[in-house]
Amino acid sequence: MADKTGTKEKTAKSAGNAQSAPKKEPAKKLPKKPPEGKVNIYGLDGKVKNQVELPPVFSSEFRPDVIRRAVTAARANRRQPYGPAPMAGMRHAVRQWGKGRGAARVMRLTQGRTAAQSPPNVGGRRAHPPRPEKKLGEKINKKERLLAMRSALAAASDPEIVRRRGHRISDGLTVPVVITDDFERLFDKIAKDYEKQGERPAYTKETLKFLGLLGLEDEMRRARDGIHVRAGRGKMRGRRLKRPKSILFVVNDIENARRCVGNLPGIDIVQPSRLNVELLAPGGDPGRLAVFTEGALRSLGGE
């Protein structure tokens, strides 16, 4: 009887301890739609890992007119002077016949009757050729260029402007897309995984899988299917194809990122310190789809 009583007491005590033990609280789930001013941080599995507040620069005033002016000035300042050679069309021995012969008073070859050198003649100089001394650049104020940069960053954080530019993003994806710093080590991860299998690493293929998990599969398909032959004579002058602009990757380690995404169509890779208006708004059209790593977004520092 004593043994049974002791067993009952132990059972009661263990039951009481079980009831008094604190229950583990379930892990808090992050909301799919973060509050205003915050964006999701996505991992390599495409799932939301955390949320981060965007730097103040992303809340700047949207000025599409200033953006276009800055892009136009940047493109104009890259133009190189061009024009004909000083003696183009004038390397002939010519003279004029003069009046009284019933012929046009144009320069003709001294060793023949063929007209030469004058602008209307075959092989002659141009009447009003482009001048190499002409200044093709455009000026823009420093503060205006800085305003355009901030405005372009603000446009990249507005999903409506990003969609209006033609990018295809899913409804739940926050822009700009922020991913963990593991993306910069994706090259090493892929190399190790394939080394275990004894196969040659397929960096682009594995990176496409990651972009598909983020919901950017339609965007990559748009960039691939949008490649077409250029109309006009430009196709014969070293620029046969036109390629639409796709994702802009802003990372700290460019080399590893280029090995993974460098072969994807329409992709640009840049460090935060090298960001400019042309990359954020190609052609002067704001709202480019940008992917930032955590470290790159942190290093912006709101500027």
- Please choose, from the candidates 23, 14, 44, 49, the residue with its C-alpha nearest in 3D space to the C-alpha of residue 34: 49
Q: Judge contact between 189 and 207, C-beta under 8 A.
A: no
Q: Is residue 206 part of a domain?
A: yes
CA–CA dist 164, 160 (Å, integer): 6
CATH number, residue 273: 3.40.1370.10
Q: Is residue 127 part of a domain?
A: yes
Q: Are residue 66 and residue 107 in the same domain, yes or no?
A: no
Q: What does each C-alpha distance from 20 to 9, 27, 48, 211 come to in angstroms?
A: 16, 21, 35, 48
CA–CA dist 182, 134 (Å, integer): 50
Confidence class for position 1, pLDDT limits 50, 70, 90: very low
DSSP summary character for residue 167:
-
Does the pLDDT of residue 11 top 80, yes or no?
A: no
Q: Is residue 32 part of a domain?
A: no
Q: Judge contact between 175 and 289, C-beta under 8 A.
A: yes
DSSP summary character for residue 236:
G
Rg, C-alpha atoms of the chain: 33
Number of domains in the chain: 2
Joined together, the tokens standing for residue 94 give 């010519």
Q: Are residue 203 and residue 114 in the same domain, yes or no?
A: no
Q: Are residue 125 and residue 206 in the same domain, yes or no?
A: no
Q: Is residue 252 part of a domain?
A: yes
pLDDT of residue 2: 47
Percent of the chain whose predicted confidence (pLDDT) is above 90 = 82
pLDDT of residue 36: 80
Q: Is residue 280 part of a domain?
A: yes
pLDDT of residue 37: 80
Q: What is the mean pLDDT of residues 113-126?
A: 93
Q: Is residue 26 part of a domain?
A: no
Does the pLDDT of residue 6 top 90, yes or no?
A: no
At position 251, the amino acid (one-letter code) is V
User: Among 135, 167, 200, where does a domain finish?
Assistant: 135
Q: Are residue 45 and residue 111 in the same domain, yes or no?
A: no
Pairing of strands 107-109, 248-250: unpaired
Q: Are residue 96 and residue 159 in the same domain, yes or no?
A: no
Q: Judge contact between 262 and 284, C-beta under 8 A.
A: no
Q: What is the mean pLDDT of residues 17-34?
A: 55
Confidence class for position 302, pLDDT limits 50, 70, 90: very low
Q: What is the mean pLDDT of residues 230-250?
A: 96
Find residue 291's DSSP bridge partners.
177, 249
**16 vs 130 pLDDT, higher one:** 130
Q: Which domain holds residue 75?
A: 38-79+139-227+239-300
Q: Are residue 103 and residue 188 in the same domain, yes or no?
A: no
Q: Are residue 48 and residue 61 in the same domain, yes or no?
A: yes
Q: Are residue 259 and residue 124 in the same domain, yes or no?
A: no
Count of residues making up the chain = 303
Pairing of strands 177-179, 107-109: unpaired
DSSP summary character for residue 292:
E
User: Among 99, 117, 135, where does a domain finish?
Assistant: 135
Q: Are residue 191 and residue 258 in the same domain, yes or no?
A: yes
Q: Are residue 55 and residue 183 in the same domain, yes or no?
A: yes
Q: What does each C-alpha distance from 121 to 88, 90, 93, 94, 105 come to in angstroms?
A: 13, 11, 15, 13, 12
Q: Are residue 95 and residue 210 in the same domain, yes or no?
A: no
Q: DSSP secondary structure string, 103-150? A: S---EEETTSS-B-SSTTSTT---SSPPPTTS-------HHHHHHHHH
Q: Is residue 49 part of a domain?
A: yes
User: Among 70, 102, 135, where does a domain finish?
Assistant: 135
Q: Is residue 173 part of a domain?
A: yes
Q: Are residue 206 and residue 97 in the same domain, yes or no?
A: no
Neighbours of 161 (CB within 10 A): 19
